[in-house]
Amino acid sequence: MSRYTGRKKGKNDTEMYEDVLEARGVKQIVQYTTPALKFPQPDVVRRIRTKDHLWQQGDKFWRLASQYYGDPQLWWVVAQFNQKPTEHHITIGETIKIPIDLAIALGALN
């Protein structure tokens, strides 16, 4: 499942981007709109089986997703489940939770 599934698209043809549009030879650019992140409620988090992971130098969400889910594109599940939009929101030595039941976690995040 892609994180873009069901995302709204918007047309960008504002004057601010006039030079970019002209350089590309187009009148508008269709983009995905920025979603509002939905974080799981604490009671939902408690019901989902997780594995603790001690954040270390060099850790990346995509590597953890690849290790636990076999798909690095599911990096956003780990990030969103922990309410950490990027790796820069985590400090070395911090413990994050990896949801083990992927289907349940996806349901809680959608």
The residue ranges of every structural domain in the chain are 1-36, 42-109
Six token digits for residue 49: 């089986």
Handedness of CA 53, 40, 75, 107 (dihedral sign): positive
pLDDT tens, 57-104? 999 999 999 999 999 999 999 999 999 989 999 999 999 999 998 888
- pLDDT tens for 16-52 read 888 988 999 998 988 888 777 777 788 888 888 999 9
Tokens at 22, concatenated: 């002209």
Give me the mean pLDDT over the 53-58 stretch: 97
H helices then E strands: how many in the chain?
A: 5, 4
State the pLDDT at residue 101.
86
Q: What is the pLDDT of residue 12?
A: 84
Residue 1, pLDDT > 70, answer no
* Residue 22 one-letter amino acid: E
Q: Closest Cα to residue 55, out of 24, 25, 96, 20?
A: 96
The pLDDT, as a whole number, for residue 4 is 78
Output the pLDDT for position 58.
95
